[in-house]
Structure 1
Amino acid sequence: MEQKTFDPDGVGVDNGTYFGLPFEPETAALVLISAPWDVTVSYGAGTAYAPDALIEASTQLDYYDPLAPDAWRRGIATADIDYTLQEESQRLRTDAARVIEHLEGGGCPEDDYAVRKIRRVNEGCRALNANIAAQARHWLERGKTVGLVGGDHSTPYSLIRALGERYERFGILHVDAHCDLRDAYEGFEFSHASIMFNVLRDVGAVQRIVQVGVRDYSRREAETAAASGRVVLFDDMALAGAEFRGETWDAQCRRIVEELPQEVYVSFDIDGLDPADCPHTGTPVNGGLSFNKAVWLLDTLVRSGRRIIGFDLVEVCPAREERTDAVTGARMLWKLCGQTLKSNEKPNEK
């Protein structure tokens, strides 16, 4: 479909792109790359199928967003999805699941049974990282803003590294139920539970990681956060306590945003939301942000004058029996796209 024939007030078009939009990556301001991968998930699997589910669900939303009206007109394009990643994910998931079962039964990662399987998984994850790095660099070199649709939370690692090669410093706004600060969780170096540990280790340009809504993390992760000097926790109970004492969510959002530098990457794990909005995500946790609170936080970030240089949306796990997860994921993806484009507007474009 050509852009000149596209009717934003018409029926959603199933053309294989996110939101059914007609933009080509070469001419769009924002390019979405996809990572259908969930090898190391430690509880519920299925996020590898999120990109296709979000493409399907996204054609059912309306384009007008009062917080970022017409931002989409600058172009949101869908890069070709590499489905060999999904095939490899399915193959390696068997090995990872057997390792996890072995560990849960009292085994350890150094046992002969686990060592070879862990090695295969780690090699596969490195190949995934190389694939995403190549895709990210390709579009960044062409002046595009890049968003990633996962897949599990391990998948944006190489996008963040690619941004670290282009920016002297930036911060990460990390919305999640978990800190993801575990060192090689379950023996997997690039585990979904290790993404922020790996970023701290490997991406020196990341000046600050501001974690919002976290509510299920280990003592060691808390100690890692405290010792790093680069991590700020706004855990879920602390946010709830401030609200109970009368602080408005708007004031809390302003406190959160003040911890971030001018350039910001947003890493949005859907399980940062109330599990009522994402009941099938791999590791749901009671509590969390409402959808509107999360959107208000993103809007506060952009209204502060900060610029979103990239983002990811991960851990959406579509379910066959009902569509809540995909519907929530598609609409959060739309908000992320709109706020990102709005934050990158030049004065003469407003």
Structure 2
Amino acid sequence: MIYHGKSKSTHSYFLSSEYEPTSPADALFHIIPAPLEKTVSYGAGTANGPQAILNAAYQLEAFDGKSYPGDLGLFTTPAVDCSGKIEQALSNIEKTCKTVFDMGKIPVVLGGEHSLTQAPVRALANIRRDFGVVQIDAHADLREDYNGDPYSHASVMHRILDLDIPLFQIGIRNLCKEEIEVRTKRGVGYLDAREIAKNGIPAELLPEDFPKNIYLSFDVDGLDASLMPATGTPEPGGLTWWQALDAVEACTAGGRKILGIDVVELAPRPELHSCDYTAAKLAYALMGIASRA
């Protein structure tokens, strides 16, 4: 099958239709496929997300609507080995991300379940502490553990707080009592989906005292379920495409920089290849925002 003159097949690196792979030393963006799927609790399939995004990225254009982020260099690593126990899988992701951070480059981790975010954040925290995590998501992911598992995707942001990293949440619309209490106790900032629906995205979204450097974690279920049904727990009432991008751009107001990115929780479905494309376009759009910040 042909889409816009580009063949639909398996691709090993991001946006291979537009760019030859750049050497690691010359690429600003290091795309890291991380097919982690260990703790999913509803819909499955996140292990297939990274390859689906790479395949769909072949259909993208180099121009993201504002700039050409690919001109700054795209290097796609081999998929991280996530076959063992989750602790080993997270360690493998952390090592890969640390190499990228050590080079002064921006890792773009393609998931895989949301549990993986603790790995790049740990890698960055071992190098510098002057950053905060911005999470776009339908769920707060602030449980101490879920079904007894502290590495659960439902606990990943609690693990971030355990590292004493500031956290700001955007688009949340499903919380349990424990998570509401954690937000209050740990001083977690947030702009939830209902408030966004009522009042939109402010020009400067993050608190003034939030760190000037950001690690951005984007769970695709932060998007409305009508736009992103191919995810483990699609939630109604989510962000539109433009709200999501406006929110990320607002996070970079005041000179803030994006140091790392992940796009997680795509669970591809054969009849919904539009979701694969949306996730790929999202990853590239986030690179564009990072490059312009």
TM-score (norm 2): 0.91
Which digits, 9 at most, give the CA deviation of each residue in 1:4-61, with x for residues without a partner?
xxxxxx9589752011132232321111112101110110010110111001101101
Q: For residue 218 of structure 1, what is the aligned residue in structure 2?
A: 176
The residue type equivalent to 1:44 in the other structure is G
Q: For residue 316 of structure 1, what is the aligned residue in structure 2?
A: 266
Q: Distance between the aligned counterparts of 1:191 and 1:338, measured in 2?
A: 30
Q: For residue 331 of structure 1, what is the aligned residue in structure 2?
A: 281
SS of residue matched to 1:40 = coil
Q: Is residue 196 of structure 2 the alignment partner of residue 239 of structure 1? A: yes
Identity of paired residues, percent?
Answer: 32
The 3 A distance-change label for structure 1 pair 306 and 326 is same
Which digits, 9 at most, give the CA deviation of each residue in 1:301-337, with x for residues without a partner?
3343110011110001110122122011011001111
2:69·2:284 contact (CA, 8 Å) conserved in 1?
A: no
Q: Is residue 15 of structure 2 the alignment partner of residue 19 of structure 1? A: yes
The residue type equivalent to 2:173 in the other structure is R
SS of residue matched to 2:229 = coil
Q: For residue 31 of structure 1, what is the aligned residue in structure 2?
A: 30
Q: Distance between the aligned counterparts of 1:19 and 1:262, measured in 2?
A: 30
SS of residue matched to 2:107 = strand
Give 1:1-350 correspondences, 5 Å limit.
Answer: 15-20=11-16, 21-22=19-20, 23-67=22-66, 69-82=67-80, 84-85=81-82, 87-88=83-84, 124-201=85-162, 203-204=163-164, 206=165, 208-229=166-187, 231-241=188-198, 243=199, 249-250=200-201, 252-256=202-206, 258=208, 260-343=210-293
The 3 A distance-change label for structure 1 pair 257 and 338 is farther
Which digits, 9 at most, give the CA deviation of each residue in 1:54-86, with x for residues without a partner?
01101101111233x12321112101113x42x
1:154·1:195 contact (CA, 8 Å) conserved in 2?
A: yes
Q: For residue 246 of structure 1, what is the aligned residue in structure 2?
A: none
Q: Distance between the aligned counterparts of 2:207 and 2:77, measured in 1?
A: 31
Which digits, 9 at most, give the CA deviation of each residue in 1:237-258, with x for residues without a partner?
22223x2xxxxx34x2423464
The 3 A distance-change label for structure 1 pair 11 and 43 is closer
SS of residue matched to 2:239 = coil
Which digits, 9 at most, give the CA deviation of each residue in 1:120-163, with x for residues without a partner?
xxxx1111111111111122222222121110000121100111
Q: Distance between the aligned counterparts of 1:336 and 1:217, measured in 2?
A: 26
Structure 2: where are the runs of 5+ without partners? none
Report the number of matched residues. 286
Q: Distance between the aligned counterparts of 2:101 and 2:225, measured in 1?
A: 34
Q: Distance between the aligned counterparts of 1:213 and 1:11, measured in 2?
A: 34
The residue type equivalent to 2:70 in the other structure is W
2:42·2:233 contact (CA, 8 Å) conserved in 1?
A: yes
1:24·1:78 contact (CA, 8 Å) conserved in 2?
A: no
Q: Point out the structure with max Rg over C-alpha.
A: 1
Q: List structure 1 segments (4+ residues) > 6 angstroms apart after TM superposition.
A: none
Could you tell me how far 1:280 is from its partner in structure 2?
2.0
Question: Which structure shows the bigger proportion of residues in helix conformation?
Answer: 1
Structure 1: where are the runs of 5+ without partners? 1-9, 89-123, 244-248, 344-350
Q: Distance between the aligned counterparts of 1:41 and 1:78, measured in 2?
A: 26
Which segment drifts farther, 256-265 or 287-296? 256-265
The 3 A distance-change label for structure 1 pair 257 and 315 is farther
Which digits, 9 at most, give the CA deviation of each residue in 1:157-199, with x for residues without a partner?
1100111112222111110000000112111121001110011
SS of residue matched to 1:280 = coil
Tell me the C-alpha RMSD between the 2 structures.
2.0
